[in-house]
Amino acid sequence: MLIYISKTDIFCMKQILRYSIFAALTFIACRSFAQSPQTTATVNKDSVIQLYGVVMTSDSLQGLPAASVIVENRGRGTLTNDQGVFSIVVLKGDRIRFSSVGFKDNVINIPYDMQGNQYSVIELMTNDTAYLPATILRSRPSGSQFERDFVNTEVPADQLELARQAVSAAKRRVLIATLPADGREAVNRQLTQQAQKYYYQGQVPPMNILNPLAWADFIKAWKRGDFKRQDNTSDGQ
């Protein structure tokens, strides 16, 4: 009896074989994935350790409060209480760092082959001595000493002459006339001019040439020699 198999049947058989192999591999992978959490959970459960103890100073054996207990590369940690006692959950093989301000850091390793799930330590911290450069403190001089040194200080003659010229009345008048106005003075002047403009709007503003008070101020300034000194100073410049 001859059985004739066409090319279409061969193609279908190949497709069925491929799908069967793919289904078998998928089943094996899913089963392995389903079993892996149980194995991982078992390993993690066996490696969890309850670490507890006390952090003390090595010289006086006093509990060290607020000391840091950090599990390196884990992003976890805790602080000791007011008596230096702490408790934290770690894993086998973790590195635990103890640190506190003024003391040197200490690092311990949790053994991989330890028995049980509890581990107690008594950590002694050593003082970290820092040597600073010497600082000399001197008291401030008394009032009499300052007055004596100030009076006996020799000032060059040229500096005295510059200081005398800076405080002269003629120099101050020239500075007042030539220095530009600051922001406050400029704003006040602008507001005053606007007020005068609005006050005399629609009429001729008064002229100071007919004002007796202005003439009195002019005569006083002329007697003081303000105009003469300003002209001499400008000529000298």
Do residues 163 and 93 lie in contact, with contact meaning Cβ atoms separated by under 8 Å?
Answer: no
Q: What sign results for the dihedral spanned by CA atoms 187, 192, 197, 198? A: positive
Q: ∠ CA(108), CA(112), CA(118), 5° rounding?
A: 75
* The dihedral formed by the CA atoms of 228, 229, 231 and 232, expressed in degrees to the nearest 10: 120
Per residue in 1-37, pLDDT tens? 444 455 555 556 666 666 666 666 666 655 654 544 4
Half-sphere exposure of 151 (CA within 13 A, CB side): 5
pLDDT at 88: 93
What pLDDT was estimated at residue 204? Answer: 75
pLDDT at 71: 94
Residues 67/97, Cβ–Cβ less than 8 Å: no
| pTM metric for this prediction | 0.40
**Residues paired with 37 in a beta bridge:** none
* pLDDT for the residue numbered 162: 80
| The pLDDT value given to residue 41 | 39
Tokens coding 160: 């005295």
pLDDT of residue 2: 43
Residue 109 has what pLDDT? 93
**Sole residue written with tokens 């006390």:** 54
Tokens 């403190």 map to which residue? 137
For the chain, residues with pLDDT lower than 50 are 1-4, 33, 35-43, 230-237
DSSP codes of every residue in 1-14: ------HHHHHHHH
